[in-house]
Structure 1
Amino acid sequence: MRIRFTPLLALLPLLAACNSQPETTNPEGTDAAVTDSTAYDPNASSDSLRMGKTGGVEVGGSALTPDKTLAQNLAASPELSQLLAAAQKTDLAAKLAGDGPYTVFAPSNAAFKGLPYGAMAGLLKPESKDNLTGLLGYHIIQSRLLALDLRDGQELTTMEGHKLKISVQGDNITVNGAKVTTPDVVSKNGIIHVIDKVLLPPSE
């Protein structure tokens, strides 16, 4: 269901040209956002989940592990603290601590610093809750997608209601032009892919 929200701060449309992509159809004609709702299997091999020998992924110097929820893994990494703080201003933090499954394209703190000065401060105000929910919802897919599930040209419908465009070139994955810097952070209720830009929903 599309989250309805009023236009974002006046400065945000200036960024849309950098992050938005024209909508095209999925090469296979299906919406990949509903193709996989399988829960994490703790008995699956670490190779198949690309988790490494430790059974976790290091993000910002902290090990994020599959025994934690998405919310717990976001809280465990200093590099993702801005995203967690923003989610806690909305109802999304509770969702990320719930059953899921969800796939989160998680902007790093450095990605948030790339926004114009004062943008996030404005969105974190109580009166901007709907706008903030819409922005964060544009980073969340309501299914569980590992990097190996992502295909070049694929479109994913977000919780916010608009689509994201995936590009896969060898080992490089981008979403609406944002680079996936750390893929496949497996959690109990979904997957985190760390990205280097904040994604902005298209204006309507």
Structure 2
Amino acid sequence: MKFFRKFSLLFVVLALLVVPAIAQDSMSDDELLTIADIVVASATAEEGAEFTTLLAAVQAADEAVLEALSDPEAELTVFAPTDEAFAALIEALGEEAFNDILADTETLTNILLYHVVPGVVMAEDVVGLEDGTMVDTLLDDNFITVTFDDDGNVFINDAQVIVTDIEAANGVIHVIDAVLVPSEDTAYPTIADIVVTSATAEEGAEFTTLLAAVQAADEAVLEALSDPDAELTVFAPTDEAFAALIDALGEEAFNDILADSETLTNILLYHVVPGVVMAEDVVMLENETAVDTLLEGDPIIVTFDDDGNVFVDGAQVIVTDIKAANGVIHVIDAVIVPDGE
């Protein structure tokens, strides 16, 4: 992601115009205001007030929102819509519909949490990230997408970032020109949905054989991967990995496995670990650590080579941390088969 890669004098001027009451550049870390204090100071400024609607929304939402933004020990990044951004939303929805949102504590709270990213993400921190990167928010299982246009402007979903790096005691504020609204498109899909989407893509399809295997196995496998409340880690073999297995076994023998529901189900369960194990968790394991799988009594063995590459039962992990609503997928370059199958 090439976030904030083109700073200009315009951004500096905008920062001074948008938040005249809260310039904190000369303050020490101990003197910085919290994010909540910055919003209040700006919204109640005698001249050039900003964030007045944002403040009203925070005050109308669940008190946990204000508590989080006021917590001096928190580490948060807030994408704060301007008053003009809220005015555009009111015009689009109608004043009555907008007031209904303000009166709906749960919906309003979800919208506000969707504007907050855990951790302090300064402009300089994200220069090396890729265009289209999905970033977690405080709204569970919902992400924002960061993109760029040809002029280097930064967008959070469809909202343009117009001011950056307003430092706070508990994080940072970046100002955006539209209100972000979570939807089905901003929620992480389940593991099953990711496999289906990838396998049925018009270009660059992947996991086509994995999908066929899941569909041929006991329905409990698909149910587990589709359960939004599950917490699973899947080591997903590529189509090339399955092709190598077919070459090794022969097509007839492979088709026999597809037709044997019990054997196929056991092989697939052997690729699934209970709990969410991110890449940073895996690299902390000891070499040759045994990790339980959903195939009871058959753990996988995690190993590392001298270059730090990670292997699961000899299959190399080639892509990590594909997030899902119910866990995570790591892609491997071979199909792993439990003993006795």
* Higher Cα Rg, which structure: 2
Find the counterpart in structure 2 of residue 124 from structure 1. Answer: 258
Tell me the distance in 2 between the aligned counterparts of 1:136 and 1:123: 11
Find the counterpart in structure 2 of residue 196 from structure 1. Answer: 333
CA distance 1:132–1:172, change in 2 (3 Å): same
Is the partner of 1:186 in helix, strand or coil? strand
Find the counterpart in structure 1 of residue 290 from structure 2. Answer: 155
Structure 2 residue identity aligned to 1:114 = A
Find the counterpart in structure 1 of residue 197 from structure 2. Answer: 76
Higher mean C-alpha displacement, 168-177 vs 96-105: 168-177
- Equivalent residues in 2 for 1:1-80 (5 A)? 43-44=117-118, 54-55=133-134, 67-77=188-198, 78-80=205-207
Tell me the distance in 1 between the aligned counterparts of 2:304 and 2:326: 25
Tell me the distance in 2 between the aligned counterparts of 1:110 and 1:44: 37
Tell whether 2:306 aligns with 1:187: no
- Equivalent residues in 2 for 1:170-185 (5 A)? 170-185=307-322
Structure 2 residue identity aligned to 1:73 = I
TM-superposed CA distance for 1:153, in Å, is: 2.6
Tell me the distance in 2 between the aligned counterparts of 1:166 and 1:105: 12
TM-superposed CA distance for 1:154, in Å, is: 1.9
> Which structure shows the higher helix fraction?
2
Tell me the distance in 2 between the aligned counterparts of 1:190 and 1:44: 18
Tell whether 2:266 aligns with 1:134: yes
Structure 2 residue identity aligned to 1:198 = V
CA distance 1:94–1:113, change in 2 (3 Å): same
Is the partner of 1:159 in helix, strand or coil? coil
TM-superposed CA distance for 1:158, in Å, is: 0.8
CA distance 1:97–1:52, change in 2 (3 Å): farther
Count of equivalent residues:
151
Higher mean C-alpha displacement, 186-195 vs 109-118: 109-118
Is the partner of 2:207 in helix, strand or coil? helix
Higher mean C-alpha displacement, 146-155 vs 92-101: 146-155
Tell me the distance in 2 between the aligned counterparts of 1:147 and 1:76: 23
Structure 1 residue identity aligned to 2:254 = M
Which of 144, 154, 171 does residue 276 from structure 2 map onto? 144
Find the counterpart in structure 1 of residue 226 from structure 2. Answer: 97
Tell whether 2:245 aligns with 1:111: no
> Which structure would you say has the larger RCO, counting Cα contacts within 8 Å and 6 or more residues apart?
1
Is the partner of 1:114 in helix, strand or coil? helix
Tell me the distance in 1 between the aligned counterparts of 2:225 and 2:293: 14
Unaligned 5+ segments in structure 2 are 1-113, 136-185, 199-204
Deviations 1:66-104 (A, max 9, x none): 711000111122211111111112221121010211100
Tell me the distance in 1 between the aligned counterparts of 2:210 and 2:275: 19
Tell me the distance in 1 between the aligned counterparts of 2:256 and 2:213: 11
* Percent of paired sites with the same residue: 32
**Segments of 4+ moved more than 4 angstroms:** 42-47
Structure 2 residue identity aligned to 1:178 = A
Is the partner of 1:155 in helix, strand or coil? strand
